[in-house]
């Protein structure tokens, strides 16, 4: 049985992509993982398409130089602009949109799906187009949530946070009023606000985490391609960021247990 001990690469604009890393470590505990958070330039969702593509190419090249065997663009914004723009990622690479949409279409019973994401992702219309391709009869209700990423990056994720709750109500009540039964969390930062989001939409709405779905999709592709690491010991996680490692550690601690995990500041070109 074939094995490949090279690491899996994951990148995002900040710490949000660690939701994908957390799921990867759960379902593929033997895999080494290298994560890049471009914290010096977060958020991506307010940038132009050209700028986002340039940043994504630099992120991807950084990980390829570390000899990763597979790359997850664990950023909804990058994934939305990568559609049809994969020239810089010719090797094994996936975004979060395809697996997330497939999971949402499978979960929805009443064919009413809500999508929350960054402004750039919503502007692209990629979620709506793909949902309609998979399930033409489904109604899609989209809302950009520009304040969610800054809230998460600064640790305002605890249930009962008045600022987070106020923005959640503003963003989500219109979607809830449309009768959605499934909500795509189209940015990997958003699962950290799941409790606040659920307080608004209720327990009957399925929340689909883009980071977790991308991780499951990666496991499937790696298995089909014979690229799984079949070593017996636990995998190693290495974290890189483009701004302060100390600040990154503070934010990342909300996502994963950082005991024994190295964080290194790096530069992108």
Residue 241 annotated to the active site: no
Instruction: Indicate which residue of 161, 187, 241, 266 is catalytic.
Output: 187
187 is catalytic: yes
What residues are paired with 73 via a beta bridge?
11
Total Cβ atoms within 10 A of residue 40: 15
**From CA 256, how far away is CA 192, in angstroms rounded?**
11
Q: Which sequence positions are flagged as catalytic?
A: 75, 187
């Amino acid at each position: 049985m074939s094995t490949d001990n090279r690491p899996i690469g994951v990148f995002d604009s900040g710490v949000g992509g660690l939701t994908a890393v957390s799921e990867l470590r759960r379902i593929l505990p033997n895999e080494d993982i290298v994560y890049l958070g471009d914290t010096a330039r977060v958020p991506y969702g307010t940038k132009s398409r050209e700028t986002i593509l340039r940043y994504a190419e630099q992120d991807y090249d950084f990980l390829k130089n570390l000899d990763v065997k597979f790359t997850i663009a664990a950023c909804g914004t990058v994934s939305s602009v990568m559609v049809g723009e994969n020239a810089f990622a010719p090797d094994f690479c996936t975004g979060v949109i395809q697996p997330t949409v497939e999971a949402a279409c499978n979960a929805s019973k009443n064919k009413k799906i809500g999508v929350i994401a960054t402004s750039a992702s919503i502007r692209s219309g990629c979620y709506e187009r793909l949902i309609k391709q998979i399930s033409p009869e489904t109604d899609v209700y989209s809302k950009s949530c520009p304040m969610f990423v800054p809230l998460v990056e600064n640790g305002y994720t605890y249930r009962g946070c008045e600022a987070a709750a106020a923005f959640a109500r503003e963003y989500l009540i219109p979607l809830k009023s449309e009768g959605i039964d499934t909500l795509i969390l189209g940015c990997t930062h958003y699962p950290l606000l799941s409790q606040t989001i659920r307080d608004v939409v209720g327990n009957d709405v399925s929340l689909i985490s883009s980071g977790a779905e991308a991780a499951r999709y990666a496991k499937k592709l790696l298995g089909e391609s014979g690229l799984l690491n079949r070593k017996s010991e636990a995998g190693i996680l290495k974290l890189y960021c483009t701004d302060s490692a100390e600040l990154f550690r503070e934010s990342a601690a909300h996502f994963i247990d950082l005991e024994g995990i190295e964080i290194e500041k790096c530069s992108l070109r």
